Chains A and B, each alone.
Chain A
Amino acid sequence: MRTKRSDTVAAYLFLLPFLVLLLIFFVVATGRAIYFSFTDYDLFRPPNWVGLRNYAALFADALFLSALRNSILFAVIVTAVQTFLALVMAAVLNQKVRGIGFFRAAFYMPSITSSVVITLIFLWMFQRRGLINYLTETLQRQLPVLLSFALILIAVQVVQVAWERRRALPATWTDPALLVVSLLVASGATWLLVTTGVIAPRDVAPVDFIWLQTRDSIPSGAPFWLSVPIPLAAIMIQNVFTTIPTFMLMYLAALQDVPKSHYEAASIDGANATQQFLRITIPSVAPVTFLVLTLSMIGTLQMFDQVAIFGDAAPLRSVVTLAYFVYDRMFPGAQTPEVGFAAAGAMFLAVLTLVVVLLQRRLVRSEGY
């Protein structure tokens, strides 16, 4: 279509409010951040040009190195764990059943509430005498019961499958009908064993694991770049918990489009569940996987809220991320703000994000999706 002058005038009138905002809060903002990153600006005195000094100083700054380490470990570990778990859970749930809407809504609950609400609730659960330690303790105490339940379950299932196969019925090891029977038998048998006192919960020392006010990291004794501070691990757990449902539902939508005949053909050829998962499920949702990986990497690299909400509940070094580092240098409490330094950190974060996105784009193209 031809460009008309009246169209152009109208278009710019329609766009005026948006363009003004875009100019002030994006174009100028980006420009100023780049400029400040080459100066010694401190909010009060006019900026002086210092060249690349801020960027060089970043890599000599202990807090920045901690932030870089924390951000990278956080992004890589959280992305890997939540993508994998989301895919596995979606594969388990990939059935056309009635009433999925209700469950879908339930799964969404953590991701619609604000980061403050979720983080406060997790802070409470991670207290020394909180729910997480209590559940860990309970799990340790009930270990004998759980183990005997699992053993009975497996034994009953094996016997049943063997019996069905003797009758020449093609039962698989995870045959659902037999599994239901095995679950019932195992529950009953375990209950009987517990009430008769044959197996009893163990006596265990109370779990007093300190999640927040600690400078320790896991695995202990690992080199700096590979050790995850424990408070950061707590944020990882929280983040995985809140993000899995969203990604799981994205996977579920993709899986529902995979033709059932693929799985049927595979099972006729004798492929077991694991083989089907590796050979059919994973390749057919590859485009979604790349999307999930990109969204997850961007989100986790820029993690800020949880660090700010943890505040003095955990040592700064243990939870600081690149995003929080920028904030911390801009508003360092009683010290003088280091705006130039903060801007250099922000530019580093921006470039890192951009590189990750572009790398993933390139990867997607080369794989031909």
Chain B
Amino acid sequence: MRAAPARPGTAEQRAWEHWQARRRWARAGLVYAVMLLFAIVFVGPLLFAAVSSLRTDPLEYPPSLAIPQLQPGNWAAAARLGQAGAGDRWFGGFAPGAVVPFEIAYFVPDGIDVTTPDVEVPRRRPGAGLGAVLAIEYAADYASVSELQRLPDVPMTVETSDGTTRGRRVAYAFTIRYEGDGPEIDRLPLDVTAAVGMQYLESTLTASRLERRGRTASFNDVAPGVLGYVLRNYVRVFNEVRSPATRQSLFVAWIGNSFTFAAVRIVVTLVIASMAGYALARLRFRGREAIFMLVLFSQMVPLQVLFISNYLVLRDGIFTIGGFTLSSLWGYPGGMLNSLTGLVFVTALNAGAVFIMKQFFESIPREVEEAAMIDGANHWRRYWNVVLPMARPALGALTILTFQGAWNDFFWPFIVLTSPENVKTLPIGLLSFRNTYGAVGDWGLILAGAVMSAIPVIILFVVFQRYFMEGVSFGGGKE
């Protein structure tokens, strides 16, 4: 090995510099490539799940990114069909007076007889589980399918692994009508069954699946509208999963509960942590060290130790003596299980937040307060008027971290919110999705719900990235 040539300005020196510069550029390029690779690995599963959640069946094999829901041709068709079905190009439907035109094409190899396919509007229940208990109207009761009209044949060949097959393209057109009066129905399923040997090629809208060894092209909805088609699983999450008693959409209830829980928990955390943090950082009093040690120690005890007693505390409404339950003072005579209030109580102890606020208050110079002290302000005024306004950055960071923590919280909602379905928060609701729909392999609904529940935190992260990064150093860097 040798070092750089000593004589500057020579040709040799210039070649050397050129060589070095080339290496720097190449290294930067490789680093970006590796970072891109890592980013794909880490974001990949989320993105792939998001794309697959559009699929009719996300478990369809092989996994693929080329899915009918992402093809513009299908979007246009879905809009047109939705317009024809219920005058709604976004969400579609099947309303009285509708005339839905449809075409379907087959490849028929030479030597196979062509028989007119059989078209039927089936009575299919939407999904399984939580949605199946609801009484619904079926399009089958109101729809009538016209005669199939055979369009001109077109000669064509198909390449397969065995070689070239000659034949022709045979296409049919028909309409589905809503005759007479009746309710508007939100979906129009369709089954088209052809003779053996006729191979499904394409149709106005790509078939949802092929059944009976490819003979039956099955459509979940032939009047879906654009959103009804692309975001079908998402629409199902809202529409199909309803409380049996009130018909209220459970997913909407869960979103509401999650937001309420997060909002209340933020307020409670900010108030309690800033007050306690102020006292620990600024006031000298007997027992300060002991309390601080307790704060540190409380973070090392596993949740499982605490949850046994805390569960009982909620069940008993803090405490019950001689028939009097303390929580009946604020409207919970039967204990606070299965209520957001109980959940807020049991998660209100947040030693980490107290720690963060204490650290922050210690970083504010004392002189700021001393000026107020000379003016004769008491502790409360000094906290409320002087120190707290200066703590906005810390309170902001704490708000965002608390929101994320509350929104994602699993353990306590899992323990406290068990029944009925509409008291749950989103993560626990998603778990009951998994229990009901995972067993029957209906992953479209589960993935759509999961993707939607991730969105608020992702938005928050994109906007307030800085706070999340600091959160890591709050939690980790203080050892």
Contact = CB atoms under 8 A, between A and B. Distances in A.
Contact of B49 (A124, A129, A270, A347): A124
A17 interface: yes
Contacts of B302: 302, 323, 346, 349-350, 353
The A interface, classified by DSSP as helix, strand, loop or mixed, is helix
Contacts of B298: 22, 26
B283 A7 contact: yes
B330 interface: no
Contacts of B7: none
A306 to B, nearest CB: 10
A252 B276 CA distance: 34
B377 to A, nearest CB: 12
The B interface, classified by DSSP as helix, strand, loop or mixed, is helix
A177 B22 contact: yes
Interface in A79-117: 89, 92-93, 95, 97, 100-101, 103-110, 112-117
B303 interface: yes
B49 A121 contact: yes
A124 B354 CA distance: 39
A176 interface: yes
A313 interface: yes
B2 A170 contact: yes
Interface stretch (B193-201, B208-216, B443-451): B443-451
Nearest to A94: B31
A198 B448 CA distance: 44
Interface in B425-479: 427, 430-431, 434-435, 438-439, 443, 446-447, 450-451, 453-454, 457-458, 461-462, 465, 468-469, 472, 476, 479
Interface in B274-309: 275-276, 278-280, 283-286, 288, 291, 294-295, 298, 300-309
A29 B309 contact: yes
A366 interface: no
A189 interface: no
B389 to A, nearest CB: 17
B447 A134 contact: no
Interface stretch (A58-66, A150-158, A242-250): A242-250
A180 B379 contact: no
B308 A291 contact: no
Given A7-B283, A14-B379, A180-B30, A124 B446 contact: yes
B306 A93 contact: no
Contacts of B38: 89, 93, 103, 106-107
Interface string A320-337: 001100110010000000
Nearest to B411: A304
B306 A25 contact: yes
B457 A112 contact: yes
Contacts, number: 297
B32 interface: yes
B305 A350 contact: yes
Question: Which among B59, B306, B380 has the highest number of chain A CB atoms within 10 Å?
Answer: B306
Contacts of B43: 106, 109-110
B410 A115 contact: yes
Contacts of A176: 23, 26-27, 29-30
B300 A354 contact: yes
A244 B46 CA distance: 16
> In which size bucket is the chain A interface?
35 or more
A292 to B, nearest CB: 8
A45 interface: no
Given A26-B298, A121-B45, A350-B302, A343 B308 contact: yes
A168 B2 contact: yes
B271 interface: yes
A241 B30 CA distance: 23
Contact of A25 (B49, B276, B313, B378): B313
B48 interface: yes
Given A11-B279, A14-B275, A116 B308 contact: no
A37 B465 CA distance: 44
Contacts of B303: 302, 304, 323
Interface in A111-131: 112-118, 120-125, 127, 129-131
Given A11-B283, A105-B465, A110 B46 contact: yes
Interface of A: 1-4, 6-8, 10-12, 14-15, 17-19, 21-22, 24-33, 36, 43, 89, 92-93, 95, 97, 100-101, 103-110, 112-118, 120-125, 127, 129-131, 134, 168-170, 175-180, 241, 244-246, 249-250, 268, 270, 291, 294-295, 302, 304-305, 308-309, 311-313, 322-323, 326-327, 330, 339, 342-343, 345-347, 349-350, 353-354, 357
Given A93-B38, A309-B410, A346-B304, 18 more contacts: A7-B285, A12-B279, A14-B278, A14-B383, A25-B306, A36-B308, A93-B34, A97-B35, A110-B46, A112-B457, A113-B46, A113-B454, A116-B410, A117-B451, A117-B453, A250-B476, A302-B303, A347-B305
